[in-house]
Amino acid sequence: MTDDGKPTLGIGMVGYSFMGAAHSQAWRSAPSFFDVPVVPVLRALGGRNAEAAGEVARRFGWESVETDWRQLVARDDVELVDVCTPGDTHAEIAIAALEAGKHVLCEKPLANTVEEAEAMVAAAEKAADSGVRSLVGFTYRRVPAIALARQLVADGRIGRIYHVRAQYLQDWISDPEAPLSWRLQKDRAGSGALGDIGAHVIDLTQHITGERITGVSAMLETFVKERPVPSSFSGPLGTTGGTLPSSAEKRASAERGPVTVDDAAVFMARFTGGALASFEATRFASGRKNAIRIEINGANGSLAFDFEDMNVLQVHDHTVDPRLGGFTRVLVTEPSHPYVEGWWPPGHLLGYEHAFTHQAVDLLTAIAGGTDPAPSFADGLVVQRILAAVEESAAANSAWTEVPV
């Protein structure tokens, strides 16, 4: 309990790299900027490298370090386990935590395979019976402009949806000499651009529209088949964000190894309401750094978003007089916009990591309120099944592949 009588929640986080930093800042900022009903306490940071983990713990105020994630999960003062490790370890850690009665926040994608994801959903649903909450970290849902987009669709302002256009464009390996990061290894990363960043736009488009993808036709491509092996290739325990290799991974050697994941994924889909959709995820779009671009065209209006201008939602109202029609550049920084009231006055922009704070706030609120937060592990499984369908279609010469809804 805090000085002012608020209950606390002990957090244990596994992984401490890119996502670890984002999550640490979020746990710390949530009670500073929002009136959360339960206050997180940064109990333990888990990492195999005690020194490196210790440094991150000191920087962000974690009370202690655990070099074995099982010890972290077992601690009585850890009530929530935050899984920030690569995808191949998600299932094991998350299931163990759920079985130990700990709430779980698991980074995306939920798992590297549908089977793992199914096991995680089963564990989450069983744990939910005892009031244990779980959330998968499709954090971009909580960018205010994205949250506003969903509200506008739900309000009927877009109407019947005809088109969905979604791209996640990066360029960090368009250089053929970029090193063979763990993200380019199928056994660690599960897939390449598809699972790392394509998963985000799959989730976001379903989240905004409130609809589901029913089938896909897909192409995957690995443009550069072999790359230099980094001199130090152990790979950090904790990097799971949608982005760059650490500088350690950047030190290349003369040795070359095979890239075993996709560099880019392009696929078409249909949504439950009949919309035609076009998807793309790539790390070869030179000049685009983190361009999550989503467009929705409906009978009553349209929406457009680009993460490279993340505080803006472009909104077209198709019901107004065409003389004044067009896309309105809504700067999503008003107090009436989702999540904004906790922060700054209008026009004072938010950045990348703020959505992690929103995620922490929503999860803490759900835990305190005894409700299930979203996106659930089941939502994560939905994405996993679509990823699997994309891979299946691509392997079958782009044959149309249904997704079980």
Tokens of 139: 């954090």
Inter-axis angle of helices 50-60 and 18-33, nearest 10: 20
Asked if 7 is part of the footprint of its own copies (rule: CB under 8 A), the reply reads: no
| C-beta of 233 vs 400, nearer to its own copies | 400
Asked if 264 is part of the footprint of its own copies (rule: CB under 8 A), the reply reads: yes
Contact 319, 232 (CB under 8 A): no
Residues 334-353 within binding reach of its own copies (CB under 8 A):
334, 336-337, 343-353
Strand, helix or coil for residue 249? helix
Distance set, CA 291 to CA 22, 286, 312 (Å): 19, 11, 13
Asked if 325 is part of the footprint of its own copies (rule: CB under 8 A), the reply reads: yes
Contact 166, 205 (CB under 8 A): yes
Residues 137-166 within binding reach of its own copies (CB under 8 A):
148, 162-163, 165
> Closest distance between its own copies and the C-beta of residue 293, in Å?
10
Asked if 244 is part of the footprint of its own copies (rule: CB under 8 A), the reply reads: yes
> Closest distance between its own copies and the C-beta of residue 74, in Å?
25
Question: Which stretch in 66-74, 99-107, 214-222, 384-392 sits in contact with its own copies by CB under 8 A?
Answer: 214-222
Residue 152 identity (one-letter amino acid): L
How far is residue 238's CA from residue 70's CA, in Å, rounded to a whole number?
15
Asked if 282 is part of the footprint of its own copies (rule: CB under 8 A), the reply reads: yes
Give the binding-site size for its own copies (rule: CB under 8 A).
Answer: 100
Q: What are the phi and psi torsion angles at 281 (to 5°)? A: -135, 125
Asked if 3 is part of the footprint of its own copies (rule: CB under 8 A), the reply reads: yes
Asked if 324 is part of the footprint of its own copies (rule: CB under 8 A), the reply reads: yes
Question: Which stretch in 70-78, 180-188, 200-208, 218-226 sits in contact with its own copies by CB under 8 A?
Answer: 218-226
Residues 284-313 within binding reach of its own copies (CB under 8 A):
284-291, 297-302, 307-311
Distance set, CA 144 to CA 170, 307, 312, 322 (Å): 22, 11, 9, 28
> Closest distance between its own copies and the C-beta of residue 51, in Å?
10
Q: Which helix or strand (DSSP H or E) is residue 182 part of?
A: none
Tokens of 18: 């890119």
Task: Please name which of 360, 346, 344 lies closest in space to residue 31, comparing C-alpha atoms.
Answer: 360
Residue 243 identity (one-letter amino acid): T
> Closest distance between its own copies and the C-beta of residue 124, in Å?
29
E-strand stretches of 54-160: 64-66, 80-83, 103-107, 134-137
State the sign of the Cα–Cα–Cα–Cα dihedral 73, 385, 207, 279: positive
Asked if 390 is part of the footprint of its own copies (rule: CB under 8 A), the reply reads: no
Which of 52, 114, 128, 219 binds its own copies (CB under 8 A)? It is: 219
Which of 16, 20, 23, 29 binds its own copies (CB under 8 A)? It is: 29
Which of 100, 278, 365, 372 binds its own copies (CB under 8 A)? It is: 278
> Closest distance between its own copies and the C-beta of residue 193, in Å?
11
Q: Which helix or strand (DSSP H or E) is residue 64 part of?
A: strand 64-66
Which of 243, 253, 260, 365 binds its own copies (CB under 8 A)? It is: 243
Residues 31-90 within binding reach of its own copies (CB under 8 A):
31-33, 55, 58-60
